Chains A and B, each alone.
Chain A
Amino acid sequence: MNGLRIALAATLVLGPGMAALAQDAGTLDKDKAARSAAKPAYSPYVGRNFPTRPLFGDTHLHTSFSFDAGAFGARLTPRDAYRFARGEEIDASSGQKAKLSRPLDFLVVADHSDNMGFFPDLLAGKPELLADPTGRRWHDMIHSGKGAEAAIEIIVAFSQGKFPKALIYAPGTSAYRSAWQETIKAAEAYNDAGRFTALIGYEWTSNTGGNNLHRNVIFRGNGTQAGLVEPFTTFPPAGSDNPVDLWKWMAATAEKTGSEVLAIAHNGNLSNGLMFPTVEAFGKKLDRQYVETRARWERLYEVTQTKGDGESHPVLSPNDEFAAFEKWDKGNLDGSVAKTRDMLEFEYARSALKNGLRLEAQLGTNPYKFGLIGSSDAHTGLAAMEEENFFGKTTPQEPSAERMTKTFFANAKAGVTVMDWEVSSSGYAAVWATENTREAIFDAMKRRETYATTGPRMVVRFFGGWDFERSDANNRLPAAIGYTKGVPMGGELSPALQGKAPTFLVAALKDPIGANLDRIQIVKGWVDKSGAVQEKVHDVVWANADTRKPGANGKVPPVGTTVDLANATWTNTIGAPELIMTWTDPDFDPALRAFYYARVLEIPTPRWTAYDAKRFGVKPLPGTTMMLQERAYTSPIWYSPAK
């Protein structure tokens, strides 16, 4: 990572190579340069080293430590998951070999907290425990190969109330070894600062009535800190299914451990209207405390993953021809209750971002001011989300001739059926961290300098400010100009200057082994004068612009396709390897709250179902989606009117 940093300070004290910058700054003479070097810079990013590439990872992976993953047949442990993510070849639970095209930069093994519970410990030879005669005897049994017998004795003693007091109370030791401790140990073992980051975390799996309110919780700190607490579960009275209680746990944990934590919700599409409430939650009216607390702890949202894409929905965004992508909109998580239209508004990210602006006006804080990431939610221990290398969501969905023709789950009473082919090979989190460490990655997540991808590793930059000009798109270092003149994705625009509209600099570079890009769009959401939420999708820059002009409806025509489904191939003869542009909001009203985020689309490529059809010679079921346009969604940049 070190070599790819570019010292911003050096570029500002101009040298001969920086022809483009000198052009923008006008004529520079020695005195001017001396004066600007002497003054402290206005922009907070001056002098800051910034990375040239984002870090790619998965914040939501399950292993055999999750009850449901194990039930499905997953045999891989957190250690196996880290080895795979680092780029090693391993044996998947289905017995076949698996390897990523290239390593990921970070991983969070986030197994379900409810199943990480207690069971009698294997005494690790700690002196306090050995001082107790029973403890000593068990220790010796274990170390002479009689561990199983010792365990039974321990269980019996415990259930008969004969467990030695000393062994429960020994300070600094937990008499109960749990999957949580093993999870922490695995993360510590594979965390390799500067090369690969293993963040500690778990999934809080609130699921009452089958309505998904899951959050992944991630620690900034190390194993010693995380080991001071137990993950929050959903069983009362210790646990709860209410996010408000999870936030209380987070506050207490941060206090107790000295480690910051954050929570990332996902699958609003399976919450049946409960994920992004605007009036009441769990029987309590939304109030200042709710919105402030939510905003404090939930800085990101996992907008795309194997159980569907959650950016927006055709019903909510009828003018967005890309909103129908990988939709899971039939019901809740277990299919027990079917979806009704009125639920949708409270389930999708774009809608929540809009409603958040309204709630800010109402209650003083925007509870839905979240950045965006993607992750897998794979229950296989394998963060394998590339279309041509997709290892499924569950072990029965690992590559096989049967995996695209079976039913995933069906609830006849509710009329909800989800087929295996509907599972998405998606996604990953891209983080603009200053280095590959826990702290830097966590901090980038906290400031929302992240974006979601549906699998490919395109490089995306998005900056907002008041002074970007067309010539900035020709700059040799868009990030340098971006950080100097504006704020990056996830940031907040400074108050409007008289007569000015927000300007943006957006750039995307294709995945080095991936498909060309179709276009970059900027999605604007705002609250209008009457207090109603609005949205508009703008095509900002697109490939093959000489032959593609916006039509009568203002829309840029489709980029076309080079996909050969029978052979599961495509060619980069359409689209462009890189797109970059500046854009100014043509409809800006400084009195109205707004957000802007960038959406980058690739040219069409085969979906995992097409690779399967070719490799296994299987005929897909009628209606199976066989190709797709992969995409990235950046975290928004927000604008608030001056108070």
Chain B
Amino acid sequence: MTRVVPKLKALLREPMVQFLAAGAGLFLLFQWGGPPAGEPGRIVVSASQIEHLTVGFTRMRQRPPTESELGGLIDDHVREEIAAREARRLGLDRDDTLIRRRLRQKLEFLVEDDGQTASPSDAELQAWLDAHPDAFRRDPDVAFRHVLVSRARRGRAAEAEAQALLTSLTALGPGADLSGLGDPLRLLPDEVELTPRRDVAALFGETFADRVLGLPPGRWAGPVESGYGVHLVLVTQRTPGRLPALDAVREQVVRDVLGARRAQRLEAMYQRLLERHLVIVERPIPPRAARAATR
């Protein structure tokens, strides 16, 4: 033993060994409890930390904290620090679903944000717009008059009544006086000015909106079904849904392009991380297979 000790001492005096030991020590330290704030057992609330607490308070309250409030913030910060250290020492941060999900969220925030820096070029935006026309197409507009034949009132006779009414309306023409005809609903306008499709759908229902948009303007048509009954409809004006120019929808296209980039970055991050790990999934053997294996 006596000959080993001097050799050990000599070894320990080697700078390289010391360096490796320090590195290993730090590695173990970091693995074990995360970066320490000062030496263990000593908590320093630095000037910049106090500034941070002050800034946070001020942004919330629109005024700086009073002396006693700041004291309270610092006390709470210290307690939080002590508690967090103790909790980590006890391993409470391991296997905690909430903490894991929050860590994941923070990591995803970091990676997602990388995409914010470079603004997409006009060419990139136009390409996206061209590839996703349905997402940006402006609603067609339609203006129409209509007469309702109520299912609630007429029951099964509604269709027949509607057909008869259609004949009368066609005879009366586009300018027909609608008063006294059909079963008007007070909260449903019978003359609708030029309106986007989605607003017609909101009031009358999607099926009605779709049908009406397909009607040729200038003549009475129907019956068109809605949740209220059957309608005779005269479309007076129609403007088709158009694909807007880039400038009209620039903000929305930028949003979607950046959104796609964000998703790509997230996926790339997961792929990168996965490459660094060997994943073993232990699955229980289904009973049938287990029995087969023992035959």
A residues with a Cβ closer than 8 A to B are 1-6, 17, 19, 52-53, 64-65, 67, 70-71, 79, 102-103, 105, 118-119, 122, 124-125, 142-143, 145, 147-148, 151-152, 155-156, 158-163, 165, 168-169, 174, 176-177, 182, 189-190, 192, 195, 228-233, 235-239, 249, 252-253, 255-256, 457, 459, 461, 473, 475-478, 507-514, 516, 572, 575-578, 580
Determine if A168 and B202 form an interchain contact, defined as CB atoms under 8 angstroms apart: no
B227 cross-chain contacts in A, Cβ below 8 A: 510-514, 577
Any A CB within 8 A of the CB of B24: no
The 9 closest A-B pairs by CB, nearest first: A161-B46, A3-B195, A252-B62, A509-B187, A512-B205, A237-B72, A3-B193, A512-B227, A159-B37
Known: A143-B117, A147-B114, A237-B69. A476 touches B184 (CB 8 A): yes
Interchain CA distance A205-B254 in the complex, whole Å: 34
Closest to B229 in A: A577
B277 cross-chain contacts in A, Cβ below 8 A: none
- Produce 1/0 per residue, B43-77, CB < 8 A to A: 01011110110011101111101000100110010
B251 cross-chain contacts in A, Cβ below 8 A: 189
Determine if B113 and A4 form an interchain contact, defined as CB atoms under 8 angstroms apart: no
A163 cross-chain contacts in B, Cβ below 8 A: 48, 52
Determine if B61 and A103 form an interchain contact, defined as CB atoms under 8 angstroms apart: no
Known: A3-B143, A158-B49, A249-B60. A142 touches B187 (CB 8 A): no
Any A CB within 8 A of the CB of B192: yes
Known: A4-B193, A252-B63. A124 touches B187 (CB 8 A): no
Interface size on B, residues (CB 8 A): 74
Q: Jot down 28 A-B pairs with beta carbons below 8 A, ordered by A.
A: A1-B195, A4-B189, A17-B177, A102-B201, A103-B198, A142-B114, A145-B114, A147-B110, A147-B113, A151-B110, A155-B35, A160-B37, A161-B46, A162-B48, A168-B51, A182-B109, A189-B251, A231-B60, A237-B72, A237-B73, A256-B62, A507-B186, A508-B187, A509-B186, A512-B203, A512-B208, A577-B185, A580-B186
Determine if A118 and B187 form an interchain contact, defined as CB atoms under 8 angstroms apart: no
B128 cross-chain contacts in A, Cβ below 8 A: none
B99-107, B160-168, B213-221, B282-290: which lies at the interface: B99-107
Which of A119, A158, A230, A459 interacts with B59 by CB under 8 Å?
Answer: A230
Known: A124-B116, A147-B111, A160-B37. A249 touches B61 (CB 8 A): yes
Interchain CA distance A189-B249 in the complex, whole Å: 12
Q: How far is the CB of A548 from chain B (nearest CB, A)?
A: 15
B residues with a Cβ closer than 8 A to A are 35, 37-38, 44, 46-49, 51-52, 55-57, 59-63, 65, 69, 72-73, 76, 97-98, 101-102, 105-107, 109-111, 113-114, 116-117, 141, 143, 150-152, 177, 179, 184-190, 192-196, 198-199, 201-206, 208, 226-229, 251-252, 255, 259, 272
Q: How far is the CB of A424 from chain B (nearest CB, A)?
A: 24
Q: How far is the CB of A456 from chain B (nearest CB, A)?
A: 11
Which of A156, A168, A229, A475 interacts with B55 by CB under 8 Å?
Answer: A168
Q: How far is the CB of A435 from chain B (nearest CB, A)?
A: 11
B110 cross-chain contacts in A, Cβ below 8 A: 122, 142, 147-148, 151
Determine if B194 and A160 form an interchain contact, defined as CB atoms under 8 angstroms apart: no
Q: How far is the CB of A18 from chain B (nearest CB, A)?
A: 10
Q: How far is the CB of A138 from chain B (nearest CB, A)?
A: 11
B72 cross-chain contacts in A, Cβ below 8 A: 236-237
Known: A3-B193, A160-B37. A461 touches B187 (CB 8 A): yes
Determine if B187 and A507 form an interchain contact, defined as CB atoms under 8 angstroms apart: yes
Determine if A4 and B199 form an interchain contact, defined as CB atoms under 8 angstroms apart: yes
Q: How far is the CB of A431 from chain B (nearest CB, A)?
A: 13
Interchain CA distance A155-B103 in the complex, whole Å: 13
Determine if B109 and A122 form an interchain contact, defined as CB atoms under 8 angstroms apart: yes
Which of A1, A17, A71, A122 interacts with B199 by CB under 8 Å?
Answer: A1
Determine if A124 and B48 form an interchain contact, defined as CB atoms under 8 angstroms apart: no
Determine if A238 and B63 form an interchain contact, defined as CB atoms under 8 angstroms apart: no
Task: Knowing that A124-B116, A163-B48, A580-B186 touch, tell me 5 more A-B residue pairs with CB under 8 angstroms.
Answer: A67-B98, A156-B35, A228-B59, A476-B186, A478-B187
Determine if B61 and A70 form an interchain contact, defined as CB atoms under 8 angstroms apart: no
Known: A4-B199, A512-B205, A577-B185. A232 touches B48 (CB 8 A): no
Closest to A154 in B: B110
Interchain CA distance A246-B283 in the complex, whole Å: 51
Q: How far is the CB of A472 from chain B (nearest CB, A)?
A: 10
Interchain CA distance A580-B98 in the complex, whole Å: 52
Q: How far is the CB of A43 from chain B (nearest CB, A)?
A: 20
Among B56, B116, B177, which residue has the most Cβ atoms of chain A within 10 A?
Answer: B56
Determine if A513 and B205 form an interchain contact, defined as CB atoms under 8 angstroms apart: yes
A102 cross-chain contacts in B, Cβ below 8 A: 201-202, 206
Which of B38, B76, B98, B107 interacts with A71 by CB under 8 Å?
Answer: B98
A122 cross-chain contacts in B, Cβ below 8 A: 109-110, 113-114
Q: How far is the CB of A120 from chain B (nearest CB, A)?
A: 9
Interchain CA distance A70-B102 in the complex, whole Å: 8
Determine if A229 and B204 form an interchain contact, defined as CB atoms under 8 angstroms apart: no
Which of B101, B150, B192 interacts with A577 by CB under 8 Å?
Answer: B150
Known: A252-B62, A507-B187. A53 touches B199 (CB 8 A): yes
Determine if A192 and B252 form an interchain contact, defined as CB atoms under 8 angstroms apart: yes
B73 cross-chain contacts in A, Cβ below 8 A: 237-238
Interchain CA distance A64-B109 in the complex, whole Å: 12
Determine if B35 and A160 form an interchain contact, defined as CB atoms under 8 angstroms apart: yes
Interchain CA distance A177-B106 in the complex, whole Å: 10
Determine if B186 and A578 form an interchain contact, defined as CB atoms under 8 angstroms apart: yes
Which of A71, A174, A510, A516 interacts with B97 by CB under 8 Å?
Answer: A71
Interchain CA distance A340-B243 in the complex, whole Å: 61
B56 cross-chain contacts in A, Cβ below 8 A: 118, 230, 238
Interchain CA distance A255-B62 in the complex, whole Å: 9
Closest to B188 in A: A509
Which of A177, A192, A572, A580 interacts with B109 by CB under 8 Å?
Answer: A177
Q: How far is the CB of A317 from chain B (nearest CB, A)?
A: 28
Known: A160-B38, A177-B109, A238-B56. A165 touches B48 (CB 8 A): yes
Determine if A229 and B98 form an interchain contact, defined as CB atoms under 8 angstroms apart: no
Q: How far is the CB of B203 from chain A (nearest CB, A)?
A: 5
A6 cross-chain contacts in B, Cβ below 8 A: 189
Interchain CA distance A388-B117 in the complex, whole Å: 43
Interchain CA distance A156-B228 in the complex, whole Å: 65
Determine if B228 and A577 form an interchain contact, defined as CB atoms under 8 angstroms apart: yes
Q: How far is the CB of A505 from chain B (nearest CB, A)?
A: 10
A155 cross-chain contacts in B, Cβ below 8 A: 35
Interchain CA distance A294-B228 in the complex, whole Å: 43
Which of B60, B101, B106 interacts with A229 by CB under 8 Å?
Answer: B60
Known: A1-B199, A103-B198, A119-B106. A124 touches B46 (CB 8 A): no
Interchain CA distance A548-B290 in the complex, whole Å: 68
Q: How far is the CB of A161 from chain B (nearest CB, A)?
A: 3
Interchain CA distance A192-B196 in the complex, whole Å: 15
Determine if B152 and A577 form an interchain contact, defined as CB atoms under 8 angstroms apart: yes
Q: How far is the CB of B186 from chain A (nearest CB, A)?
A: 5
Closest to B155 in A: A573
Which of B49, B109, B184, B203 interacts with A4 by CB under 8 Å?
Answer: B203
Which of A118, A162, A174, A177 interacts with B113 by CB under 8 Å?
Answer: A177
B37 cross-chain contacts in A, Cβ below 8 A: 159-161
Which of A156, A230, A509 interacts with B185 by CB under 8 Å?
Answer: A509
Q: How far is the CB of B73 from chain A (nearest CB, A)?
A: 6
Closest to A153 in B: B35
A508 cross-chain contacts in B, Cβ below 8 A: 187
Closest to B254 in A: A189
Which of A2, A125, A190 interacts with B117 by CB under 8 Å?
Answer: A125
